[in-house]
């Protein structure tokens, strides 16, 4: 999940511990002043009665780490990002202080906070089937008779491979988030928890010096077989059971991570480790280190020298944020709910993506005009130098039928000249971007067009071709003609050199403005069918022909199109 998506927060769900009434009043007052409904649920109560699956939520926990863990348990399955406020005593997970609560909320809903994905684990054993964010402990049951055996024997497997037999008081299997708890106390390593997909197995009080902690990938299935009775605890007892002899515990990475909201008012991870666990690396200069880190955190976004650089940075974040709900809804296109009327899901997808993009842009560039395929969010008053053109879902037909060839297109116009372009393909995670005159990139790697000159060596892409003119006059001479169904992607693939030319019979400005900047920056030549430079703003509400090529091939293609037009005119005249 991308932090920018928080800019479209519609409601706040608050999980409240006892003695947090003052903090709750602060959240409710903030919600009223921002016209954001706030729903409060006490710890131990279920959020389902106030939860609406179609709403964009921010989850807030008020209390200590126990309240935060309860928030993870309830919010994570619903993919609700969590902001933890430390209204308790010592807390490691909930790290926003009550004094910074309103500032942290402002930062979150402005979309400038970060969302970190935290790996969770899933536990399946007798009487336990649950998810945890910290750890699983399997410990020996203390004997009633003091002379009976006081250690446990556990056989551990990674997938189908036998790791070995552990003898001692038990073992802990922890996530990176839980690595600073029981695992650390038992000699395990500290794991940086941000976007870290791993699990670690740490023996507790073993009787062999050579038994060391083991780190495995989160996709590894860990099986633990207990030779005798044992106690099983998940996240310090939030779920627990007594295991019988030869019982098997299965532990693996959970499919759904916890989405943790991190603001500039949170201590960063290593500051928390230093201050709360006495990390020796900062002894003698802990204060200096903390100040240095906090200053860097508060200016997390890289500085930009001009509007264009800043615009590309913001557009890339907005596109990635909008791509997430599109992926979610794209996976439902063949569900029973939508099979009878796919327009419903397309409408919802368009709305969600456009809402995220326009909200992010309005937040960062309040003086800019915005036009999109769906609506005019904020028209330019004639004095505005910058206008954004947005197509939140280019390739709606593909999207509706579960085809992955759809995209998000964002462009910035400067005095009606396209100068910044960003196109994102959510299903393939391809992020194309460019600033006019400054080169084009795909996921940070530079792009350039091909240099082929012979049509029989070239691959072409066609958009809508109503009477087959382009196809009939190029198919037999070219290496192939393909149709993907997204004009924005067509231009990006031209920029990437995976095709040599693109033909679009009719385009709207928001369809192609982003791809136009990218293609031109990569070296492409883009004109109309008469060979004049293509101007996406000539008629904002009209469709226009577009032909783009690698450059050397352009005159050949224009000649073919001219011949096709002449033939069509002659045929029409003869028919008349």
Angstrom distance (rounded) from CA 83 to CA 264: 12
The verdict on whether residue 283 carries a ligand-binding annotation is no
Q: Note if 65 is an active site residue.
A: yes
Answer for the pair 241, 127: CB distance below 8 angstroms, yes or no.
yes
Angstrom distance (rounded) from CA 501 to CA 462: 9
CATH 3.40.190.80-classified regions of the chain: 455-575
Considering only CA atoms, which of 488, 521, 524 is closest in space to residue 504?
488
pLDDT at 301: 46
The verdict on whether residue 367 carries a ligand-binding annotation is no
Q: Which fold has domain 3-116+258-298?
A: Rossmann fold (3.40.50)
Contacts of 206 (CB under 8 A, 6+ apart): 166, 167, 168
The verdict on whether residue 391 carries a ligand-binding annotation is yes
Answer for the pair 527, 547: CB distance below 8 angstroms, yes or no.
yes
Task: Write down the pTM of the prediction.
Answer: 0.79
Coil vs helix vs strand at 525: strand
pLDDT at 539: 64
CATH top-level class for 307-438?
alpha beta
Angstrom distance (rounded) from CA 228 to CA 244: 6
- Choose the CATH number for 455-575 among 3.40.190.80, 3.40.50.300, 3.60.21.10, 3.90.950.10: 3.40.190.80
pLDDT along the chain (576 residues), means of 10: 88 94 96 96 94 93 92 93 85 86 94 93 93 93 70 92 92 94 90 93 86 94 93 90 93 94 88 79 55 40 71 96 90 56 75 92 91 64 80 91 94 94 97 95 96 86 70 68 88 95 83 94 92 78 79 87 57 49
Q: Per the residue annotation, which of 21, 65, 124, 565 is the catalytic one?
A: 65
| Number of neighbours of residue 341 by Cβ within 10 angstroms | 10
CATH 3.30.540.10-classified regions of the chain: 307-438
pLDDT at 466: 63
Contacts of 40 (CB under 8 A, 6+ apart): 14, 16, 24, 28
Rg (C-alpha) for the chain, rounded Å, is: 29
Tell me the C-alpha to C-alpha distance, in Å, between residue 490 and each of 419, 457, 467.
19, 18, 20
Answer for the pair 396, 346: CB distance below 8 angstroms, yes or no.
yes
| Angle value at C-alpha 512, between 510 and 518, nearest 5 degrees | 125
Angstrom distance (rounded) from CA 30 to CA 110: 14
Q: Cα 207 vs. chain centroid, distance in angstroms?
A: 45
CATH 3.40.50.10330-classified regions of the chain: 3-116+258-298
Looking at residue 190, the DSSP 8-state letter turns out to be P
CATH top-level class for 121-253?
mainly beta
The verdict on whether residue 66 carries a ligand-binding annotation is yes
Q: At 97, list the tokens.
A: 């202080």
The verdict on whether residue 393 carries a ligand-binding annotation is yes
| Number of neighbours of residue 395 by Cβ within 10 angstroms | 24
Angstrom distance (rounded) from CA 6 to CA 9: 5
Angstrom distance (rounded) from CA 462 to CA 533: 19
The verdict on whether residue 467 carries a ligand-binding annotation is no
Q: At 208, list the tokens.
A: 């062999």
The verdict on whether residue 551 carries a ligand-binding annotation is no
The verdict on whether residue 429 carries a ligand-binding annotation is no
pLDDT at 458: 84
Angstrom distance (rounded) from CA 164 to CA 395: 53
CATH 2.60.200.30-classified regions of the chain: 121-253
């Amino acid at each position: 999940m991308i932090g920018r998506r928080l800019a479209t927060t519609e409601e706040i769900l608050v999980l409240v511990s006892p003695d947090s009434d003052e903090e709750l009043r602060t959240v409710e007052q903030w919600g009223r002043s921002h016209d954001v409904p706030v729903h409060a649920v006490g710890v131990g109560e279920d959020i389902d009665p106030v939860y609406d699956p179609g709403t964009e939520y921010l989850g807030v926990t008020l209390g200590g780490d126990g309240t935060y863990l309860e928030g993870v348990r309830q919010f994570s399955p619903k993919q609700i990002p969590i902001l933890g406020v430390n209204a308790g005593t010592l807390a490691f997970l909930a790290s926003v202080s009550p004094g910074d609560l309103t500032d942290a909320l402002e930062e979150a809903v402005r979309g400038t906070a970060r969302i970190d994905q935290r790996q969770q684990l899933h536990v399946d054993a007798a009487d336990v089937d649950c998810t945890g964010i910290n750890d699983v402990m399997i410990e020996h049951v203390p004997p009633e008779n003091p002379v009976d055996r006081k250690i446990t024997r556990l056989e551990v497997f990674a997938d189908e491979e036998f790791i070995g037999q552990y003898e001692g008081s038990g073992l802990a299997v922890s996530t990176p988030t839980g690595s600073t708890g029981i695992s650390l106390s038992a000699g395990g390593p500290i794991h940086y928890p941000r976007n870290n997909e791993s699990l670690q197995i740490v023996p507790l009080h073993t009787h062999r010096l050579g038994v060391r902690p083991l780190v495995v990938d989160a996709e590894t299935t860990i099986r633990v077989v207990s030779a005798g009775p044992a106690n099983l605890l998940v996240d310090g007892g939030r779920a627990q059971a007594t295991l019988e002899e030869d019982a098997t515990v299965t532990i693996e990475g959970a499919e759904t991570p916890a989405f943790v909201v991190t603001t500039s008012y949170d201590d960063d991870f290593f500051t928390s480790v230093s201050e709360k666990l006495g990390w020796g690396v900062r002894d003698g200069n802990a204060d200096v280190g903390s100040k240095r880190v906090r200053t860097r955190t508060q200016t997390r976004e890289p500085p930009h020298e001009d509007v264009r650089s800043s615009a590309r940075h913001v557009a890339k974040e907005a596109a990635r944020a909008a791509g997430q709900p599109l992926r979610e809804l794209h996976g439902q296109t063949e569900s029973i709910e939508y099979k009878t009327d796919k327009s419903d899901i397309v409408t919802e997808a368009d709305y969600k993506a456009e809402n995220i993009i326009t909200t992010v842009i309005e937040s960062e560039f309040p003086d800019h005009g915005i036009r999109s395929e769906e609506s005019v969010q904020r028209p330019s008053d004639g004095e505005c130098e910058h206008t954004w053109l947005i197509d939140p879902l280019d390739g709606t037909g593909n999207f509706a039928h579960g085809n992955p060839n759809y995209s998000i297109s964002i462009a910035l116009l400067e005095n009606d000249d396209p100068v910044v372009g960003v196109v994102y393909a959510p299903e393939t995670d391809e992020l194309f971007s460019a600033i006019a005159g400054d080169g084009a990139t795909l996921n940070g790697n530079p792009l350039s067009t091909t240099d082929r000159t012979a049509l029989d060596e070239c691959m072409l892409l066609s958009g809508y071709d109503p009477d087959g003119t382009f196809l009939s006059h190029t198919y037999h001479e070219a290496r192939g003609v393909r149709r993907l169904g997204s004009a924005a992607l067509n231009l990006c693939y031209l920029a990437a050199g995976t095709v040599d030319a693109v033909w679009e019979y009719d385009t709207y400005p928001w369809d192609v403005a982003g791809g136009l900047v990218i293609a031109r920056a990569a070296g492409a030549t883009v004109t109309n069918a008469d060979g004049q430079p293509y101007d996406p703003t000539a008629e904002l509400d009209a469709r226009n022909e577009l032909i783009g090529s690698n450059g050397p091939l352009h005159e050949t293609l224009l000649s073919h199109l001219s011949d096709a037009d002449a033939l069509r005119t002659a045929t029409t005249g003869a028919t008349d």
